[in-house]
Chains A and B, each alone.
Chain A
């Protein structure tokens, strides 16, 4: 049993994210936790995972995570290919070859629509943030999308204030009708894991993290997700996963501290 292990919410989320990636798949990776989760999958159950960074990096093996996101050359180290947006987002992603898009967000709604553009502050004023980068492209063209976000009521909203990257829009077959590929498959927060109802495409609770209650999950959301009768507890990270994150993947806590 691993129940006595000490681990951070970040480590739990990274392990849960890693489990979403299967061996042999191609993953398009966004900034932040998805980077750590993808390298964790690659070093454990998915050695044949192909990791893509939008700016033109394929299958790197960094020895440092760096601090400056995808533009930090530390995470380009030992790549098999250095290429371009046209290659990564075009001839791989737009062609339909990316199995999983892995993205962080500022705000997500009940249909998995993502906002990384505008965020309201407590005074009701909107601040401009990152925008899309490759986020919209990954969410529009990957065969499925895994989303990570902090579990706060202002981030898990009934409707997002700006759809930067489409999920299922207003639910049902809204997304298919526009010719978009795939769609969100998971939302991983620091309290729970969600999936989507196959028909309505509404957010559905799949698992609650250890030491978290259903009440804690729901009181920190601005809408009520579908709650099945039986919600399991999230599988915690293994001792080996924790060791890999702490000692090999992100020893300087470049991402784990965020």
Chain B
């Protein structure tokens, strides 16, 4: 069954107040076109989760679409901190549940397996755990191992309402490949109640059937497939295009202040659709320079 949709249709399916898991990691495979459309449609009070903060979460927080973030921290390497995220946390404008990369992964993994909790060695002794222990309702607990008698920290599973995953290749049913490292994306999608796939390239189901071992995102879990080139720009999509260093710098400078971010949104998000955004950032001639070398992957 074809689930091909426009970006607007996919975003309309997400009401305010739900939990959305995002596929970005720092400046790689961030769901940017999706985030822009959420901001345009005015969807609010989202819970956003991901293992390591990406630009997708940062811009959504900056635009005021997010009420709660569940993540493992994160920065953007040389291009700096996630300024909107850090500012919102410092000012108390965001409910924060901060974990680590593995504890987030384990929470998704438990969600994907339908387990009620999952034990972990990480977080013990840290102030991350101390802060989490103060949350109500509880997100962490302790349990005795029935086999050894050892005491273990256990985490509550994560079951997002929807995961939004940015992929290289998908068919119209949502069967998708993720090329390159995939961080938390497989567990995220499997933990979620449904998945929205945003793909750079649309292929036939015959192509999917030819290489079934590559199918990482299962079509039967997918509600919408959006085919949209450069939909992760300015972040990178391995094997398709590199991250856009210049535009990330523009975003980094703008996002240092709320006014700067507002001007950025006015120019690149409000009043344009994705194609308009691509024109605003420099157009196809400019974007073509970012295309990846097939051997290097960037």
Binding site for B on A (CB under 8 A): 31, 53-57, 67-74, 76-77, 82-86, 89-90, 93-94, 116-117, 126-137, 140-141, 162-166, 169, 174-175, 178-181, 254, 258
Known: A73-B238, A85-B105. A130 touches B100 (CB 8 A): no
- B11 / chain A contacts, CB cutoff of 8 Å: none
**Closest 10 pairs between A and B when the two form their complex, measured CB to CB:** A131-B73, A69-B77, A56-B181, A71-B26, A137-B102, A68-B77, A166-B125, A136-B100, A89-B102, A73-B298
Cβ–Cβ contact B81 & A129, under 8 A = yes
- B109 / chain A contacts, CB cutoff of 8 Å: 86, 90
> What's the Cα separation between A84 and B245 when bound, in Å?
25
- A137 / chain B contacts, CB cutoff of 8 Å: 100-103, 122
> What's the Cα separation between A212 and B65 when bound, in Å?
52
Q: CB of B117 within 8 A of chain A? A: no
Q: CB of B137 within 8 A of chain A? A: no
Query: How large, as a class, is the contact surface on chain B?
Result: 35 or more
19 pairs of residues in contact across A and B, judged by CB atoms under 8 Å? A54-B101, A55-B52, A55-B181, A56-B183, A71-B243, A73-B292, A85-B104, A90-B109, A126-B90, A128-B90, A129-B75, A129-B81, A131-B71, A132-B100, A134-B72, A134-B100, A136-B102, A163-B125, A165-B126
- Cβ-closest chain A residue relative to B86: A128
Cβ–Cβ contact A84 & B183, under 8 A = yes
Q: CB of B124 within 8 A of chain A? A: yes
- Cβ-closest chain B residue relative to A116: B73
Cβ–Cβ contact A178 & B124, under 8 A = yes
B82 to chain A, nearest CB (A): 9
B84 to chain A, nearest CB (A): 11
- B238 / chain A contacts, CB cutoff of 8 Å: 73, 76
Taking a contact as CB atoms closer than 8 A, the residue among B28, B51, B77 that contacts A85 in the complex is B51
> What's the Cα separation between A220 and B74 when bound, in Å?
29
Q: CB of B271 within 8 A of chain A? A: no
- Cβ-closest chain B residue relative to A93: B102
Known: A84-B181, A84-B182. A89 touches B72 (CB 8 A): no
- B105 / chain A contacts, CB cutoff of 8 Å: 84-86, 89-90
Q: Beta-carbon contacts of B100-119 to A below 8 Å, as 1s and 0s?
A: 11111110010000000000
- B52 / chain A contacts, CB cutoff of 8 Å: 55, 133
